[in-house]
Amino acid sequence: MEFQHRFPLARTKLVENPRPSILISLSVVILFSLIGAQGHLCAASVEGLAKSEGEVVFYSSLNNEQIKTPVERFQKNYPGIKASFYRGTSDRVLHRVMTEAKTGRYSVDVFSSAGFQLQLMKEEGLTAQYVPSEASAYEKGLKDTDGHWVSVHSVLNSMAYNTGLVPAGAAPKKLEDLLDPKWRGKIGIDVRDAEWYVNLQQLLGKEKARAFLKGLASQKVGLRQGHNLLAQLTAAGEFQVVVNTYAHIAARMKNQGAPVQWIFDEPVITYVHPIAVARHAPHPNAGRLFMRFVLSEEGQKMLRDQGRIPSRRDVDPAIFSLKGVKLHASDPKMAKEFSEAAEEMRTIFELR
């Protein structure tokens, strides 16, 4: 009786409608239609507000041409927004953003760098939480679980070998294959890549990873610094095989005629290079719009055409195919383990 007194119309509807499930279904349809419309309006409002801001400033560790091309396309797509950029190494981008924050002079709207440096910016409270609709096209590990960043492009850490010295059938397929005595004195490794070792620990477990590294050290490996250098020395024949170079470098050299072949030991350790909106962005909506553009299929295809490895998996790289290849994305949060891992690598390889 109390229900009928307080909600007489609801009571009447329940009595008169012989099929309430129809009303429930219709209500669900209307609800989801409204949600969809709201999401569309949100995207449209970001664009509208970005145009009213009229400017976006982008800091990035991409090279000049890889920044300039999407910036120019963005301005063409959104002619009312002036786009400018600063290019530096990931460390320089980090330093610039941190310095501006300390002085209270906020200039940047959106930035991209290597995962380690962007993680430090996040921990300092310099990134804004923003999950664009484009993020749904990116796999787990290639976007922040807290919604602060999405990876723009990926760098795949891989083995490589000299095809003039090693027949394809005799080439190693797994890292463990390098412990075979036949490779003694013929292997090169980048000993400064602590991120690679931290991910190896995550994949194998710390004890197995340590045992592998000790076994590798007993193989009289050549110790070098730099993934580019390692690939070049492999092509030159100084090493028959290398442990940890970058796959895109080996692929680029192969396309130029060098006797080098990369090897994907799955899941392939993959370094992320995220993009994020600055927390104190002077033009936050323009920053969000630019982030959406870079992560869109159009933006990712532009990076692909410039030789980068798009983090968006439905845009396959031009330099090699990753269809069906399993990746292991390096979590930037593991950066706190780099120092300890680097020290362990130096100890195992007797570097002092």
- The pLDDT tens digits along the chain (352 residues) read 333 333 233 333 333 344 444 444 444 333 333 333 333 336 678 999 999 999 999 999 999 889 999 999 999 999 999 999 999 999 999 999 999 999 999 999 999 999 999 999 999 999 999 999 999 999 999 999 999 999 999 999 999 999 999 999 999 999 999 999 999 999 999 999 999 999 999 999 999 999 999 999 999 999 999 999 999 999 999 999 999 999 999 999 999 999 999 999 999 999 999 999 999 999 999 999 999 999 999 999 999 999 999 999 999 999 999 999 999 999 999 989 999 999 999 999 998 7
Count of Cβ atoms closer than 10 Å to residue 29 Cβ? 10
Which H or E element spans position 60?
Answer: strand 55-60
Taking domain 155-269+336-348, whether its CATH number is 3.20.20.140 is answered by: no
Residue type, 323: K
Going from the C-alpha of 318 to that of each of 16, 83, 237, 322, the distances in angstroms are 64, 27, 27, 10
pLDDT confidence of residue 285? 97
pLDDT confidence of residue 351? 87
Tell me the Ramachandran region of residue 261: left when phi exceeds 0, alpha when psi lies from -120 to 50, beta otherwise: beta
Q: How far is CA 305 from the centre of its chain?
A: 17
User: Is the distance from CB of 213 to CB of 243 less than 8 angstroms?
Assistant: no
CA-CA distance, 200 to 212, in Å (whole number)? Answer: 10
pLDDT confidence of residue 50? 95
Q: How far is CA 170 from the centre of its chain?
A: 33
Q: 72: which 2 tokens?
A: 């120019």
From the number of C-beta atoms within 10 Å of its C-beta (0-12, 13-18, 19+), residue 176 rates as middle
Q: Where are the domains of the chain?
A: 53-151+273-317, 155-269+336-348
pTM for the whole structure: 0.85
* CATH numeric code, 53-151+273-317: 3.40.190.10
pLDDT confidence of residue 275? 98
Which H or E element spans position 64?
Answer: helix 64-77
pLDDT confidence of residue 42? 66
pLDDT confidence of residue 45? 87
Question: What are the E-state strand segments in 247-347?
Answer: 260-263, 268-277, 309-310, 327-329
* Domains 53-151+273-317 and 155-269+336-348 in one fold: yes
Q: Is the previous residue joined to 267 through a cis bond, with omega within 30 degrees of 0?
A: yes
pLDDT confidence of residue 231? 96
